[in-house]
Structure 1
């Protein structure tokens, strides 16, 4: 995970500014993830895994303004951006930690993640899903807005072509474009959506589904059974 830490520390200042030019239909992607997050509590405890600059948490606060936030990330520069975003906000905790193996704490009503877990190796993803299940209260939900590989080589190539065309259509310079492709080639470890759904079920989640897909970009939702 240290190479991921170094990479994200390096471009923390530009992360939010570039998002809409890297992720197609960015707001629809996040809006669907926020819609999927549910809690019976007016003061839900929310864990943001790989929180980065806190962008996903900021969107969730539009729905749950009184939430207790815990943001965990391995990159200190990214978490510093989150601290600036939520400066002065109460009930907000920042944890600098490798979430792939470190303690997640809990219990939480909602666990969420955006564009982070796809950097992990397959077995680390499987183990993380099980650890998230344990960290949630009964009735808790895990919302993962992330990336997925195509189910076949044919669709993998088509999804990459779509993404490449989107990147070329934006305002980024040739140097910025090359950096995005370099990060994608070296840091991304996308898994098939079918595998990710199977791992969530294997972890014990009783309700598992995909609520959004735009080629590579997905939002999966998993609910832990039981009464909150």
Structure 2
């Protein structure tokens, strides 16, 4: 397995073109709509330069946040972005490894990061996320997923201005259907692909709320 994200050149190249990824803002917009304005704690896995977390904090400026990444370049960028924001804690951690001990969260988000993990690690990370969420909490994964055919993969690469020879060797893409099934089996509810354009997809699941006596159907 290859992971180029410890390379400053690779990270800087991504940051330079991040704003130009076609339809990216559409997926981000849907994610912003789905995360409740009332959340008190957010965990951002593979935060990069903190782009998505910063967007969430526009309407949730006081939300307590933990931003996780392992790329030195990305960590420097996210520290710079939030240098004056004491509500953001930044953790250096490789998602290939089990998440560190953390308190519960109302929302866990990720943007174009989990597809760099092995499929086995993807699923185990989803379990860890489920366990970290408060009842009623939301998991939003804006992700790079696998195309069902080679032709569609090549169409996606062309749309983002890349040749097949320029495909990122760090990618370990997985289809949407498999990941949705995993989330449901783990225990998430209302699981669906809330938005998709070719290989970009927003996968969302909610952790069930705790039922009280008043919730019981008589």
Range of TM-score over shorter length: 0.7 to 0.9
- 1:29 is matched with which residue? 27
Q: Conserved in 1, the CA contact under 8 Å of 2:136 and 2:209?
A: yes
- 1:12 is matched with which residue? 11
Q: Would you say 1:165 and 2:158 are equivalent positions? A: yes
Q: Using the alignment, how far apart are the partners of 1:13 and 1:75 within structure 2?
A: 11
Note the C-alpha offset of 1:32: 1.3
Q: Using the alignment, how far apart are the partners of 2:11 and 2:154 within structure 1?
A: 27
Q: Residue deviations 1:132-155, cap 9 Å, x none?
A: 0001111111000001112x33xx
Q: Conserved in 2, the CA contact under 8 Å of 1:12 and 1:81?
A: no
- 2:72 is matched with which residue? 76
Q: Conserved in 1, the CA contact under 8 Å of 2:49 and 2:74?
A: yes
Q: Would you say 1:108 and 2:105 are equivalent positions? A: yes
Please, what is the CA RMSD of the aligned residues? Answer: 2.2
Q: Using the alignment, how far apart are the partners of 2:65 and 2:121 within structure 1?
A: 24
Q: Conserved in 2, the CA contact under 8 Å of 1:39 and 1:140?
A: no
Q: Using the alignment, how far apart are the partners of 2:117 and 2:205 within structure 1?
A: 19
Task: Give the count of matched residue pairs.
Answer: 210
Q: Using the alignment, how far apart are the partners of 2:78 and 2:38 within structure 1?
A: 26
Q: Using the alignment, how far apart are the partners of 1:181 and 1:47 within structure 2?
A: 34
**Inter-CA distance 26–112: structure 2 relative to 1 (3 Å threshold):** same
TM-score computed with the length of structure 2 as normaliser: 0.87
User: Between Structure 1 and Structure 2, which shows a larger proportion of helix residues?
Assistant: 1
**Inter-CA distance 219–13: structure 2 relative to 1 (3 Å threshold):** same
Task: Please list, as runs of the form range in 1=range in 2, the aligned pairs for 1:145-224 lying within 5 A after superposition.
Answer: 145-150=142-147, 152-153=148-149, 156-158=150-152, 160-168=153-161, 182=166, 184=168, 186-224=169-207
Runs (4+) of structure 1 moved beyond 4 Å?
none
Note the C-alpha offset of 1:107: 0.3
Question: Any unmatched runs of 5+ in structure 1?
Answer: 169-176
Q: Using the alignment, how far apart are the partners of 2:160 and 2:175 within structure 1?
A: 22
Q: Using the alignment, how far apart are the partners of 1:221 and 1:71 within structure 2?
A: 19
Task: Please list, as runs of the form range in 1=range in 2, the aligned pairs for 1:1-150 lying within 5 A after superposition.
Answer: 3-7=3-7, 9-21=8-20, 23-38=21-36, 40-41=38-39, 44-104=40-100, 105-150=102-147
Note the C-alpha offset of 1:78: 0.4
Q: Conserved in 1, the CA contact under 8 Å of 2:4 and 2:10?
A: no
Note the C-alpha offset of 1:2: 7.8
